[in-house]
Amino acid sequence: MDKPTQLEKDCIKYFRGNHVFDRLLRGFREKFSSYGYFAGTVVLRGVSVEELEVLEGFFQKNFHGQKSVSISASRFEKVLKGSRFGDISPKEVLELYFQEEMAGKKELKEAREVEERRRWQQACKELAGQYEKTPAATWIGELAREEGFCYPYVWKRCREDVKNNRERAENVKHASVGEREMQATLEFGAWIVNAFPCRHGCVEYLAVFAARLTGNPHAFDDGTRDGQFLWQLVQWNHVQRGVEAVPVGREEVQAGKSGQDEERCDGGDDGAEPRANDGEPSIFPALQKNRLYLEAGILRDDVSNDVMLSGILAHGADESSHAGMAGFLAEGDMVRVPLSVIAKWRRVACPRNEIYIVENPSVYAMLCGKWKGEKSCMCMNGQPRLSAVLMLDLLAASGIKVYYGGDFDPEGLLIAWKIRRYYKGEFAYWHMSVEDYEKSKSGKSISPRRMKMLGRIKDDELGGTVEAVRHAGVAGYQENIWEMYQ
């Protein structure tokens, strides 16, 4: 601000001469901040006799006996103009009194955003040099251009950091604290991007990954702020592979819930159509989040995420044969294979170049005992887990024909139809005809709510069976016809 004139000095001296003017001008400053100009009415409550006399002297009005006084902006401006300080505007009075330029909330917000973007660009510029020639360079470049999948989230997070630090500071001049937070947030994101296990062709448990980066195995748990940040970066990694982002909305529907429960989980297919890796609508939306984490080399769920196999040979990235699977094939035994093992496979092989997949463990066990590895077999055990979906990908990539048989209830028929839609290789339903259903019938009725699931199935080959189930209203189970499987 320019050096005040003598008249301005006298004006400020006058208004600082009594505390009541301080209360009045602070009220008008708040009004100015709201309106963006000098306006509104300030109400002074609990005014003393001495303060009333000061106000009466300035405004030339009798306030005697009043406990509160209302002063409008228009009255203040009129009285000020008629006084010896008439050449000074009300806005200038506020600026001189508080030693700051008056601006409305909109102007302050715009100025703050300009400053925040300046700091943002400065932070990106500094990191660009630090992370040059690393995978994070692409991420930082997108942020600097204010574009890309992660930009909206990271920009919002950094602004929140700046805002929180500004509120903790004594005044806006201490906003440099927010600058340090912004820099730290961007650097943390770049560090995560470069540390993804997929960069090294391996997989790592989420807790181990979190502990390695932060020292806290729960740092990236669902519901935490850093967990949200990691999820954004995992999706960014997915987008970098040239695929549209997957808008996973529902968290981890209990994929894999099996058996003949009255209200079995249907895999979370509630009509939403997230995008899958191949650009087609996702068949198993409940698995998408885990799948995207696995693309980055991070395992979120492994202990309970496995698939039952028999008669399978597997090969790793270097084409070496998996000795364990070869041993089980030689012995004709079945085996449960966890997700962490399947994630390392690049190719599989099956006798006769075909595999028989069933829904229920009991049927699977009986088939494995009969075939002894001469035919390949796999068990979904209800809704497909990520491990089973990855196996389907490997089977398709290896040119294996799939024969699938499941239960004759709404959930079982939905699973069969979804697997047919998902599988990219040769596929055939196995003992799922109307005749098979008639032989598998049980006495268990299907509730009206579950029966509505049948309306989702759009498959000509399975259509007759769907209509038969709808007409009969009872479920049919594989266990009732297992001897028909050859």
| Two tokens, residue 1 | 């601000």
Which residues make beta-bridge pairs with 275?
281
Concatenate the DSSP letters of all residues of 125-164 into one string.
HHHHHHTTTSTHHHHHHHHHTT-SSSHHHHHHHHHHHHHH
Q: State the DSSP string of 311-327.
A: S-EEEETT--B-HHHHH
Torsion from C-alpha of 198, 199, 202, 204, nearest 10 degrees: -70
pLDDT one digit per residue (tens) for the chain, 486 residues: 578 899 999 999 999 988 999 999 999 988 888 887 888 999 999 889 999 999 999 998 998 888 899 999 999 999 999 999 999 999 899 988 988 887 666 766 666 777 778 888 888 888 888 898 899 999 999 999 988 889 999 988 887 876 776 554 444 443 344 567 788 889 999 999 999 999 988 889 899 999 999 999 999 998 899 999 999 999 999 998 765 444 443 333 223 333 333 333 344 443 333 333 443 446 787 788 888 999 999 998 665 689 999 999 999 988 899 999 999 999 999 999 999 899 889 999 999 999 999 999 999 999 999 999 999 999 998 888 899 999 999 999 999 999 999 999 999 999 999 999 999 999 999 999 999 999 999 989 999 999 999 999 999 999 999 999 999 999 999 999 988 887
Record the tokens describing residue 91, joined without a space.
């806005």
The residue extents of the domains of the chain are 6-102, 106-195
In angstroms, the CA 231 to CA 277 distance is 17
* Nearest-angstrom CA–CA distance, 196 and 400: 32
Q: Tell me if residue 404 falls in helix, strand or coil.
A: strand
For the whole model, what pTM was predicted? 0.64
pLDDT of residue 268: 40
Amino acid 253: pLDDT: 29
Asked if 282 contacts 270 with a C-beta cutoff of 8 angstroms, the reply is no
Beta bridge partners of 205: 299
> Do 306 and 336 touch, CB atoms closer than 8 A?
yes
